[in-house]
Amino acid sequence: MIKKIIFFMGVFLFLMPGLSAAEVWKAPDQEKAKERAREVVPFVKEYKDDCLINRRTCLVDAGISIKDVTTVYFVLGSPVIKKREDHYEPVRFAHKRHAALTNDCSVCHHFRPKDENALETTRCSACHQDSFNPDYPERIGLKAAYHQQCMQCHQNQGKGPVDCKGCHLQNVPDHKELVKLPDGADPFQVTAECLRCHDTQADDMLTTAHWLWKGPSPYTTGHRKDIMHGKGTTALNNF
């Protein structure tokens, strides 16, 4: 569903003049960071719940502090999510700056694995993976875990991005190179050109409300001959 919504938002954006694919941010050690992002961590079943009430104190007692933040930034692009959806480039996350901003690791690193040898600040993807795990229904999936934690704080603090583009760079090639049309092409030719590559999206579209909507006509509601109007009934669908 989200893909469809994005596709439609995208169609409008694409049709706006002057818009081309966003420039992809690069750092010197970007490749190493991306490689790390591709790691799949074994799922952690049990977490330590004896210090949940005051996790912050727990971490301070364990001697965890900003000195343990050795990575300036991460890119987040887990294969756990990618196997399901792949709309965007990995999300860059300024870890050290965030850690310094809050000065409290527990805000994000809210639990640790039960295994004594595990890191206090184990990465999220160890515990949050698929969007629904029937054995651990209380655990939200990795994408939701990020979205909820990242956006909630940005919203509460009124700082940091809450709009999609603030975190996501789209994984979309520049269409100037892709779309091949003669001068003065008619609308049918344009649509046909898009469909050359976007046939799956076109099929998806056929099952959406955009294609199938119908509803009571305000002119006939309550009358003896109540008519349903819409693309699913009386209106014509063209391509």
Q: Under the criterion CB under 6 A, does residue 210 sit at the interface with ligand HEC? A: no
Binding string, residues 49-88; x marks residues near ligand HEC by CB under 6 A: ---------------xxx-xx----x-xxx--xx--xxxx
Q: Under the criterion CB under 6 A, does residue 96 sit at the interface with ligand HEC? A: no
Dihedral sign computed on CA atoms, order 130, 132, 137, 139: positive
Q: Under the criterion CB under 6 A, does residue 139 sit at the interface with ligand HEC? A: yes
What whole-number distance in Å separates Cα of residue 211 and Cα of residue 76? 35
What's the burial of 148, exposed, middle or buried (CB within 10 Å: 0-12/13-18/19+)? exposed
Range 21-40, binding ligand HEC (CB under 6 A) = 37
**CB 193, CB 181: distance < 8 Å:** yes
Q: Which two tokens stand for residue 99?
A: 């850690």
Q: Under the criterion CB under 6 A, does residue 175 sit at the interface with ligand HEC? A: yes
Q: Under the criterion CB under 6 A, does residue 128 sit at the interface with ligand HEC? A: yes
Distance between start and end Cα atoms, the chain: 21
Residue from 22, 62, 194, 205 that binds ligand HEC (CB under 6 A)? 194
Q: Under the criterion CB under 6 A, does residue 169 sit at the interface with ligand HEC? A: no
**Closer residue to ligand HEC, CB minimum distance, 197 or 235:** 197
